[in-house]
Structure 1
Amino acid sequence: MGPNDIDLTDLDLFGNGTPHEAFRTLRDQAPLFWNDETGGNKGFWSVTRYDDVAAVDKDAATYSSEQQVTLEELDEDQLLVRKSMIDTDGARHWALRKVLLREFSPRAVALYGDFLTKLTGATLDRALALGEFDFVEQISADIPIRLLARMLDVPIEDTDKLIDWGNQMIANSDPDYTDVLAGSPESEQYRDLPFRSPAALEVFEYGFRLAAQRRGGTGTDLVSKLVNTTPEDGIPLSDLDYQNYFSLLIIAGNETTRHTISHTVRALASHPQAWADLKADPSLVGNAVEEFLRWATPIVHFRRTATRDVELHGQRIREGDKVVMWFGSANFDERKFADPHVFDVHRKNVEHVSFGKGSPHFCLGNALARLEIKIVITALLERLERIELLETPSMVRSNLVHGIKKMPVRVHPDPAFPATATA
């Protein structure tokens, strides 16, 4: 395979997960790679090496998020109605982040520890009693969305539809999740909605119903904070700002953590020594979370747009060109990580780019995601001798999200756990 054989818009290339061979070829032979597109799009530059991805992500002045962070090219009207916090740079971006920044700080997140531990225990007890089950459905999709429901202060019975809406939007290229595929003729009537997904209409309606209930109140939930806080730049949240911020919470609050937990359990099931090492010394889990996040890389890419002409690897990126950061490549760059394709729970100083460390767009929920992953994996290690994959997991058909749809497993309980738990 050479660079000219690679098309990163071909979703079949991602059918079995991250296409590591293709990314290795690009890192070695074409670290700045031009990828043509069909359907009237202009094409884009790909950066695949760790240092380049990190540099682009940190330089919002040169590589802007204002023109959308996915590959889709939008006209001015679409940009206006779809703009969310992640599609904003500069002072306005910071003002929007600060509306909920305190709620996602490490100190605030730590307050959910007891709730999350009890939630995880109850979910695992219910699932593990089945013996064989779909891990995604019963555990990794269930726990993050139930925590989000708590943070939004919405009924727990609403979690199924929150999951469904998130799936339809972010996995808009997978026919198992949506009837209106991105780029299909049917999607044109939804062109002004996030991800061209009709599910966004339901999310907006749900969000505005909550907003009407919470506006002017003294609640401390995320919705109350959104509707009762004026950003520090003095510009109140418009209805567009609110609906797009709310839909972002629905997606971000579930998808990335869910897929990281799924990929981690898949890796631990396939690497029995790693499972044994963590089970023998659970104190290793905290550091190993960073390896889990590197290994999973739940978001495969984000796009930026060049604000000026710039040269990289001897080639000219023109103002207005799309520049795509491939996190799924950077996290496996041999220039940064020794033996990157080895799942190593002892790996030190894992400076992955999964959350955009050092970037103005550093993931707002990173501390919460880390806490969820740590608690879930620790609880599984306590309860199980091992976990067995019953078949190859099925992947989300996407080059945006590195997700597992289904993962049938058989669990083998640790007979010592009940005694330990009640001691």
Structure 2
Amino acid sequence: MEKIISMILLATLVFVFSDGVHGKAKDGETLSEIDRKLKALNKPAVKSIMSEDGDIIDCVDIYKQLSLDHPVLKNHTLQLRPSIDLPTEKVDKVNNSNRPVVIQTWQKNGTCPKGTVAIRRIRKEDLLRAASLEHFGRKPYTAKRKEASNKSKFINLNNTKLSNNDLEMPNHSYAVLLTVGYNYIGAQADINVWNPVVDLGDDYTTAQIWLNGGPGDRVESVESGWMVNPKLYGDRRTRFFAYWTADGYGKTGCFDLTCTGFVQTSSQVALGSAIDPISSTLGPQYQITVGLNLDPKSGNWWLQINNVIVGYWPASLFGYLKHSAILVKWGGQVYSQAVKKTPHTRTAMGSGEMANTLMGNACFMKNIRIIDYSLQSKYPEWVGTWGDEYYCYNVYNDLRDYPADGPVFFFGGQGGRNLYCQ
């Protein structure tokens, strides 16, 4: 009898630890493999900070961070600061002198010491929610996009013909402002912060900036903004994120620091950490200023938020992007298996309201800027808008009486909660 009871207890423990929270260990992935993955991701901390939202932020020695394990960074010399002055946020002293400050939630409970970087700890339940250990932290795999057909939608911008195959990925819906050129080495925007509804378990929604180089099926991209992604983070909070790919979202790249690649230099900002506070309808409007800029001397792509330099993607990760980007996008995306289908996902974009509801209702981006090799920060000379599900998520670039910092770009929508989005 004791032997039978012991076997039942053992079976129960195996079930608990293999199924875990919100997921289970996948075929061929043992608990020891999951533990090894956790050990590789979470480097020893000099100090740890418990955030009121449940996150743990580890202060890791800057020279012992995960990204320096990347094969191409084996002999990498850490660049502590850009070789040029990066553009900084321009505050309108008349209208924005009392603009509320947006922080990350964990910052209320402590700071990381100099010489360390602030890294959000990955937990076992985070890995168990992933499709596999190999794909943890990556956008869902999509096959290479097809060549543009006669039925493709096109946009002509700056003497460049873009098809929907250049702008779309399967299972994604976009609402963006975009510009095309040959020498973009930076982009910036003030991004209005909201907490949109996410419907299905695998869905996520973002408000962000993209800088792209290379052809569509092998596109290289650096990206950042805010996101709600329950599968990745385990909750529905709005979080600051970064992403990169060097092969069209195939086998390279990931969100935040869930793989090797992005080299962090900041002890003040943690990628993947929640943003606080959030905008409310006809109430206070909060925003973050996000910038991505190429260092012309090193070829590294630097990321900053609210004038704080977070770190960089090393030039050695890329081919096309080590010189410049050719396409810049500002706006939102929704990922779901149920976009462009009936019934449509109810996952929202932006504030969850359509772009034409304007200030105080719709999500916006202001102070939109690009940088070229003149190193001047300026509003793009040519811009266009793109939305592939207009009745679900739409766009509006407001050119009427816009302020000195340029037009205000509105985007977003309700998804399937809009009766016309079917």
Which has the higher relative contact order, 1 or 2, with Cα contacts under 8 A spaced 6 or more apart? 1
Structure with the largest fraction of strand: 2
TM-score range, shorter chain: under 0.3
- Report the structure, 1 or 2, having the larger helix content: 1
